[in-house]
Amino acid sequence: MTHLIDIKGLSFQRNHRPIFSSVDLTITRGKITAIMGPSGSGKTTLLRLIGGQLIPGQGTITIDGQVIHKLKRRSLYQLRKRMGMLFQSAGLFTHLTVFENVAFPLREHTQLSEAMIRNLVLLKLQMVGLRGARDLMPSELSGGMARRVALARAIALDPELIMYDEPFSGQDPISMAVLVKLVHTLNQSLGLTSIIVSHDVPETLSITDYAYVISDGKVIGRGTAESIKHTDSAQLQQFLQGLPDGPVPFHYPAINIEQDLIGETR
Amino acid sequence: MLNYIASLGRFGMHLIQQYGQAGVLLSRTLLRLPNPRKGFPLVVQQVYAEGVLSLLIIIVSGLFIGMVVGLQGYHTLAKFGASQELGPLVALSVVRELGPVVTALLFAGRAGSAIAAEIGLMKATEQLSSMEMMAVDPLQRVIAPRCWGGFISMPLLTLIFNVTAVYGAYLVGVKWLGLDAGAFWSNMQASVDFNLDVVNGIIKSIAFGFVVTWIAVYQGYYAEPTSAGIANATTRTVVYSSLAVLGLDFVLTTMMIGGW
């Protein structure tokens, strides 16, 4: 089976507001797949749906042959042990040191000795370049460092699938370059399947094998990085090139500004 | 008129939904069997955080409340020539009512608010979500130890409050106002029944600990993940817990006295 994840006819709404309507997409095993789109287009929601934290209104999400939202709690947790997720805010446990954060999934899910856990944690931290920061608390880390620690924690159990939620946003150029290289290297060296949710177009397209662009609850573009870049769709080009004018309006729907300024109501 | 009825209905539905949600949270938390090897150290940590760290406020409050009750009681009893009955007055007031109720109110303010704020912040910073994605159940790892920590701490804190308050009354009545120490202690011993007074007080404190901790974990777990949401959850924890403790105290007292 070449597809690790198969999403068919996915519809989801929150507070009566549709987020997705009839979305189909597949994630190929062993590849880096990007899911891009403007802010608020539901990219993070899609990751939560894939992770089984949200239940779709309609459609199915199948991961390695299992429909995730129909699994019992025990089976869902077994499946999640094969996944890693890097949250936008890193999600590090603030009362634990960097070392203990990375050791957390190992302590929870394995019976390894302390010596073995120590070695594994140091190896994971070495991969993200933070072996020397093992005794720091999360409050002492920069945003980029926190994400690298979260990445080390996400790969602690050697998952098959890793999901990155906006891994590059708010990073300085050095941290961003390090993270881009790290995501690519991890995917190649560990043979992972990676999903990157991002709106940082050049960085994401530089390492991705296949990309989806979603907007207004639908997939508006799909293909390899090259084919996405050369697509004719005006909506897609506006997003890729960051153009203010185009099919996607910059302004939230409102009445005419002259009427608004003359009017007395707030 | 119809709008008023509709909004009343919505409010009622929302209230029932919240009670249901709180019930489901509690049952999921307590019915899922924890792993003793991992769960026990977490419960001990929470007994420390909720119980040991509340000791200072409990001891200081107990001492002053005992001293005030001793002082007021002495002057009131002296009017009737019954100042020798200060021991029973203080002991019965503290063991039956003041101990469990004041400890629960202080516990709600000190530990309950801390539980709600901590869980709410863990939710807002995606720590609970990341735990779920690591296949670790936040109800077992975060909520259950805090519940058990509260259930265990409250009766112990109440006992400590009772002892401190009685000692405070002893300091005022015997050491300051010159009551006979023998009369103070022997009258107290003769008037206080272990089962009717002490045990009933402890039963109240167990019930209060259960309710306060339940409200705190519920408010924290379902807090809106924003700074205002966490602030509201903390406030609601203290307000709802205080009201619940006072209401429940009346019900329990009525049952214990035999009114029901």
* C-alpha distances in Å from residue B30, one per residue of A26, A117, B110, B111: 39, 30, 23, 20
For A154, the closest chain B residue by CA position comes to B134
- Asked, for residue B208, whether it belongs to a domain, the answer is yes
- Asked, for residue B110, whether it belongs to a domain, the answer is yes
Amino acid letter for position B238? V
For B123, the closest chain A residue by CA position comes to A91
Identify whether the C-beta of residue B91 lies closer than 8 Å to the C-beta of residue B167. Answer: no
Q: Alpha helix (H) ranges present in chain A?
A: 43-50, 73-80, 98-109, 114-127, 143-154, 173-190, 201-207, 225-229, 234-241, 257-262
Show residues of chain B in contact with A109, CB under 8 Å. 135
Q: Nearest CA to CA, how far is B103 from chain A (Å)?
A: 28
ipTM: 0.84
A105 touches chain B (CB under 8 A): yes
Domain containing B218: what range? 32-257
- Asked, for residue B123, whether it belongs to a domain, the answer is yes
pLDDT in tens, chain B (260 residues): 888 999 999 999 999 998 999 999 898 888 876 677 788 999 999 999 999 999 999 999 999 999 999 999 999 999 998 888 999 999 999 999 999 999 999 999 999 999 999 999 999 999 999 999 999 999 988 999 999 999 999 999 999 999 999 999 999 999 999 999 999 999 999 999 888 889 999 999 999 999 999 999 999 999 999 999 999 999 999 999 999 999 999 999 999 887 55
Identify whether the C-beta of residue A49 lies closer than 8 Å to the C-beta of residue A15. Answer: no
Q: Which residue's structure tokens are 């112990």? A: B156
Q: Nearest CA to CA, how far is A153 from chain B (Å)?
A: 9
Q: Which of B125, B133, B137 lies at the smallest CB-CB distance from A83?
A: B133
Q: Do B136 and A78 touch (CB under 8 A)?
A: no
- Asked, for residue B250, whether it belongs to a domain, the answer is yes
- Asked, for residue B12, whether it belongs to a domain, the answer is no
- Asked, for residue B13, whether it belongs to a domain, the answer is no
**Who's near B66: CB < 8 A, 6+ residues apart?**
B90, B94, B164, B165, B166, B167, B168, B169, B170, B171, B172
Alpha carbon distance A79, A3 (integer Å): 16
Q: Which of A80, A90, A109 lies at the smallest CB-CB distance from B133?
A: A80
Question: 0.95 exceeded by the pTM?
Answer: no
- Asked, for residue B174, whether it belongs to a domain, the answer is yes
Q: Do A91 and B136 touch (CB under 8 A)?
A: no
B38 touches chain A (CB under 8 A): yes
Torsions phi, psi of B256, nearest 5?
-75, -35
What letter would DSSP give residue B97? I
Q: Nearest CA to CA, how far is A235 from chain B (Å)?
A: 32
**What is the number of structural domains in chain B?**
1
Torsions phi, psi of A9, nearest 5?
55, 35
- Asked, for residue B153, whether it belongs to a domain, the answer is yes
**Who's near B55: CB < 8 A, 6+ residues apart?**
B157, B160
